[in-house]
Structures are given as C-alpha cells and as structure tokens.
Amino acid sequence: MPLEKQRQAIRLLLDEQNPGDGMAAYYAFHHDQARTNLIIEPADAQPGKARGYVAISQTGMDLFRPLLTMRLPLQDVELSANLLKQALPTASEAYLTCPVAYHPLVKAFYEVLKEEQLALYVLNSSRFKPIINVLVTREDSFGRPRFVIKQNDQAQRVTLAAAGLNWQSPYFAEIAVRTAAGYRRQGYGISVVSALTQEILKSGRRPLYAVSLNNVGSVDLARQLGFEDTGYRQMMLEVKRQ
C-alpha cells in the first residue's frame, strides 16, 4: 500500500493538536516520505480503520539506527507483538520512543540497551517573557532555526550553548538544547532557548520541551521561560532485537 494511503489509514489513531501525540504525529504524517516506512495493522486497512502502526524513520540522530514511533492496541497483545516484530529485523538496533504504558510490551520483544523517561512540557505563551542576550546569534540548520552562543578559545570558535529543533509539525515544534560543560547555570542555555521559542511562536506553532525529570537544571530552564508540564510521559529507548 502506498505511504499516503497508509497515512490515511492511521489518521484516527493520533490527534495532531494534542501535545502528547505531537512527536508521533510528526513522524507518522510529516516526516520526509523518502525516509519513512509505515507498518500498519491490518495491512490493507481502509482510511481511518487501522488498529495500530509503527513508523520507521531515518533521522539525523543516527545514520545506521532508525527511530521507531508507534501507536499500539495494547488490548490486543498478538497484534501489537506482530507490529513490533515486523518493525525491527533480528539482530538490528533502533531508537524507540513510546508512551510509558507500552514499556512492558516493548521489553518483552526487544532487548533494552538504554532507557530514559521524559516529561513533556508545553509553553504557556501568556507566561513567556523573552530574554535579550546580545551574545545570541542565529545559524539556521537544514532550513530550520538554530540559535547559538559562541566565543573564541585559542583561535577557535567554541559553541557554549545551542538550541535547535528536533522536529516541527504544522502545530508543534520540539526544542533541543545543549550547553557545554563548564558553562551551565550561567544563562547561556536559557538565552538560546528563549530566542528559539520566539521564532517558533512567530511561525504559529506551539513550542514543546521534552526533558528527563532527573535533569533539574533543564526542568528549571523550561519553567523559567513559561513551559508547563503536560503530565504526559514517554520513554526514549535504545533497543535491539535478538
């Protein structure tokens, strides 16, 4: 079945305007067709009639390991297991993100090499107050906005902090930020995230921020800018099928 018809078949499994479905909806409906494969059940489902799916996406995260995103009918273990088995060949590895409720089923069929639970924050625009920092410059990456702070260090330009997008759909854009060791808690990270947040708002999208609850500094950064916890939790895993 052509990819576009598969996308129509799974349309009702996701709500694109729900922050908790934002990432899955992006990879299911908007990721580059040439880098997207969908496995759906039933395989010949008519529009809106699919019961579950796994999206296999090639991303810039890793050239050799795809990213798996999904919606599974947990009440039907056999069908869910069939989707997981089809998604990853034997002896292959992948990144996988899924709702926390899927975690036991995923562990039953894949070896988990690494795992992290993430909380999803969404911006409350009424609480957002931009931070002006003259050190922030814009360096777009693959047509997407990216904001950085750099300084000269022994004749080299060193990136102290950078904020870019993991993905963006028509409704949401998820922020990724990295601050160099030794430069944290100095206002660099929050400055680049603030600049990127402004840019996302200008585009008409809602900014999202996914963070480990153990990362206290990153949680504080998000809250200071007006991001609020949606209550949604997702797993980010590295898996291997034996």
Confidence of residue 213 (pLDDT cuts 50, 70, 90): confident
Contacts of 62 (CB under 8 A, 6+ apart): 95
Contacts of 28 (CB under 8 A, 6+ apart): 7, 10, 14, 38, 53, 55, 69
Mean pLDDT for the chain overall = 95
Q: How many domains does the chain have?
A: 2
CA distances from 208 to 21, 131, 167, 230 (A): 11, 18, 10, 10
149 and 214 both lie in a single domain:
yes
Residue 231 inside a domain? The answer is no
31 and 136 both lie in a single domain:
no
Judged against a pLDDT cut of 90, whether residue 62 lies above it is answered with no
- Closest by Cα among 239, 224, 242, 241 to 114: 239
138 and 210 both lie in a single domain:
yes
Judged against a pLDDT cut of 80, whether residue 153 lies above it is answered with no
Judged against a pLDDT cut of 80, whether residue 218 lies above it is answered with yes
CATH code of the domain containing 196: 3.40.630.30
pLDDT of 77-131, one tens digit each?
999 999 999 999 999 999 999 999 999 999 999 999 999 999 999 999 999 999 9
Least-confidence region, from 43-52, 151-160, 174-183, 193-202: 151-160
Domain range for 112 is 3-119+236-240
pLDDT at residue 4, as a whole number? 97
